[in-house]
A and B are shown apart, each in its own frame.
Chain A
């Protein structure tokens, strides 16, 4: 770790140098750049200096965080034309998306979804009907004869029954948990309003107090529900950030840990919260909400005056 600490300043220096170099390169090959903006750095036959140009273009375009640009710069330093640095950030993005994919949609378009669902139901109904017919046929085959069942027949029968009972499972579609996005508005410069707080509590079937405790503990601030049933949080927060925290809440306190169904009840039992699933019947304890350590960020003098 000691070696790495020495790393930082040197990197910065490199960056400065490189930016100087950028300008030169850009001035040298303006026409090359303008054409190469469209084409990514995958063409292997290009000469080394031109490749540099391509890379620079790309990271100019992407506007990634500093870290990633560091990576790129290091690669430029080594002048490795074979490794296109474009791939790295994309992969990372994908991972991020995977992490966030909790089957929770914060979709604005509610109506559309409903329509779609209806369509799906219609389709499923159709398939159901067919399945039942098939099943009837096969039952008929078996009823008359005395022969042994073949494996394929039995397998088919099992799947038919499964399809009949819960069509969503066999078709591989995960039931999506759709909810309205949180409406987050800034009040003044220091406060944030979470307008549809109670509405979201209702859709999640959770006590507003529980969600409030979680939000405040997680964000490390204070806040309260005002007369218009909206939540006022101290501090600046964006909708995205609140969404992230809500996702975490849903993962921990709403969806069943075993079957991930959102059809659960949160019960308090001897000081512990238990999550009881209505779908699979599992019951497990969930972590208690603790705000943990809070550093002093306000005015120390005021706190001291209060204590004395």
Chain B
């Protein structure tokens, strides 16, 4: 039996952990933008910077057969851009690859 007072228990451990993957901050926003004609653009904002976005975009381009790029933004960090309406595709892909949890995904647009 151990004396509880002497246990090294960090009461803030949870707080520190949750601040990292906070639901609000950890959200991945998938948006759609209209371009000229019936063309559209899909943007994915909020992917963790730990991942190599260039590799992700390379895989996505191949998977969805579309072009894409990584854009650096001062406020939102690195943002993924894909040609066409890839919202469904990218959501499924991100979940399948385990990069993002389903509850972290937020799809915008119509």
Report A266-308 CB contacts with B as 1/0, cut-off 8 Å.
0000000000000000000001000011110100000000000
Q: Which residue of A lies closest to B107 (CB)?
A: A248
With A218-B108, A218-B109, A292-B29 known to touch, is A235 a contact of B34 (CB < 8 Å)? yes
- Whether B110 contacts A245 by the Cβ 8 Å rule is yes
B109 A220 Cβ-Cβ under 8 A: yes
Give the tally of cross-chain contacts (CB within 8 A). Answer: 62
Closest to A221 in B: B34
CB < 8 Å neighbour of B110 from A5, A244, A287, A294: A244
B96 contact set on A, CB distance < 8 A? 1
Q: Is the CB of A5 within 8 A of B59?
A: yes
Report chain A residues within 8 Å CB of B4: none
Q: B33 to A294, Cβ gap below 8 A?
A: yes
Report yes or no: A292 in contact with B108, Cβ–Cβ below 8 A.
Answer: yes
Check A295–B71 contact: CB distance below 8 A. yes
**8 Å CB contacts to A: which residues of B91-110?**
93, 96-97, 108-110
Known: A1-B59, A242-B110. A8 touches B65 (CB 8 A): yes
| Assembly CA distance A220 to B41 (angstroms) | 11
**What 0/1 pattern do residues 59 to 100 of B give for CB contact below 8 A with A?**
100110100000101001001010000000000010011000
A218: chain B residues at CB < 8 Å are: 108-110
Q: Does the CB pair A297–B45 fall under 8 Å? A: no
- Contact indicator B34/A1 (Cβ below 8 Å): no
Residue in A5, A220, A235 whose CB lies within 8 Å of B31: A220
* Per-residue contact bits, chain A 232-266, to B (CB 8 Å; 1 contact, 0 not): 00011100111011000000000000000000000
Cα distance A287–B43 in the bound complex, in angstroms: 20
Q: Contact between B43 and A295 (Cβ–Cβ < 8 Å)? A: yes
Q: Of B34, B35, B63, B79, which one neighbours A5 at CB under 8 angstroms?
A: B63
Kindly list chain B residues whose C-beta atoms are within 8 Å of the C-beta of A293. 29, 31, 43, 45, 71, 73, 76, 79
Q: How far is the CA of A244 from the CA of B87 in the complex (A)?
A: 15
Query: For window 107-136 of chain A, which residues contact chain B by CB distance below 8 Å?
Result: none
- The CB with the most chain A CB atoms within 10 A, among B32, B33, B79, is that of B33
In the complex, how many residues of chain A place their beta carbon closer than 8 angstroms to a beta carbon of chain B? 23
In the complex, A235 Cα to B41 Cα: how many Å?
Answer: 13
State whether the Cβ of A38 lies closer than 8 Å to any Cβ in chain B. no
Provide the main secondary structure of the chain B interface.
mixed
Q: Are A237 and B110 in contact (CB under 8 A)?
A: yes
Give the CA-CA distance A218 to B30 in the complex, in Å: 10
Q: Which chain B residues lie closer than 8 Å to A5 at the CB level?
A: 59, 62-63
Partner of B97, one of A1, A242, A294: A1
Distance of A7 from chain B, by nearest CB (Å): 9
Residues of B within 8 A of A221 (CB): 33-34
> Which chain B residue has the least Cβ–Cβ distance from A243?
B110
The 8 A CB mask of B9-47 against A (1 = contact, 0 = none) is 000000000000000100001011111101001010100
Interface centre among B29, B34, B73, B110, by most chain A C-beta atoms within 10 angstroms, is B110
Contact A297 B31 (CB under 8 A): no
Tell me whether A292 and B59 are in contact (CB under 8 A). Answer: no
A8 touching B63, Cβ below 8 Å: yes
Query: B97 CB to closest chain A CB, in angstroms?
Result: 6
Q: Choose from A1, A241, A245, A297 the contact partner of B33 (Cβ within 8 Å).
A: A297
A219 interface contact, C-beta 8 A: yes
A73 vs chain B, min Cβ distance (A): 17
Instruction: Identify 10 new A-B residue pairs, CB closer than 8 A, beyond the known A5-B63, A217-B108, A218-B109.
Output: A220-B31, A220-B33, A221-B34, A240-B110, A287-B24, A292-B108, A293-B71, A295-B33, A295-B43, A297-B36
- 17 A-B interface contacts by CB (under 8 A): A1-B96, A1-B97, A4-B63, A5-B63, A8-B65, A217-B108, A218-B108, A219-B34, A219-B110, A220-B34, A236-B34, A237-B110, A244-B110, A287-B24, A292-B29, A292-B108, A294-B33
